[in-house]
Amino acid sequence: MKPDADMSFLKAILRTPNRRIAAIALLVVGLDQLTKQMVLRFLGYAQEKVVVEGFFKFVHWGNTGAAWSMFRGNNELLAVVALVALVVLFLTRHHFDSRTLLGQIAFGLIFGGIVGNLIDRVTVGHVIDFLYFYVQQRGGGEIGFPAFNVADSAICTGVGLVFLLTWRSERNAKTLRPPAGEQSTLAP
């Protein structure tokens, strides 16, 4: 393809908000699945590789629960919950700020993260977590943040952006409303 053809192809893909959301979601799913395939290839199950002693490891852990391994052992139920969440979020996205680029990024991250973990639940039987941050204790034990993956990061970032956009939108709406008892100078 010529450079002009590449740009017109890219413009066609990114022309509408839904297409931008889908493109971001596909990028997240691709990156998530690529990194998980690398974990499957280079680390045996439950194996760990220290990257920064006392702070960060690559691990190969399975999670049949939700965040922080809550509801452990409910992989099938959580797969159904993920599907329902995808449908509900897709149908209600217009209630949020999904018309701005930042809103589209947020929903793309959320959708991509949910799909990435859903793929694991269906194909592997658990979510593959591999990023583990911890602090080494003096006695030799570890205090760690629960292991996570690219999909988890995308979901958390997307949800954080939705909260931020909603807060900003509500704050802006309050500043546009006149104080109680005052008449608006805007048209009736």
Catalytic residue among 32, 97, 120, 129: 129
For 66-176, where are the E strands, in sequence order? 127-136, 142-144
CA distance 147 to 67: 9
Structure tokens at 14: 């990114």
Q: Return the exposure string of 112-134: e unless at least 16 CB atoms fall within 10 Å of the residue's CB, then b.
A: bbbbbbbbbbeeeebbbbbbbeb
Token readout for 177 is: 């409303």
d(CA 165, CA 171) in angstroms, rounded, equals 10
Cβ contact 169:51 at 8 Å: no
Partner residues linked to 3 by β-bridges: none
Known catalytic residue: 152?
A: yes
On the CB side of 128, CA atoms within 13 Å amount to 24
Q: Catalytic residue at 120?
A: no
Which of the residues are catalytic?
A: 129, 152
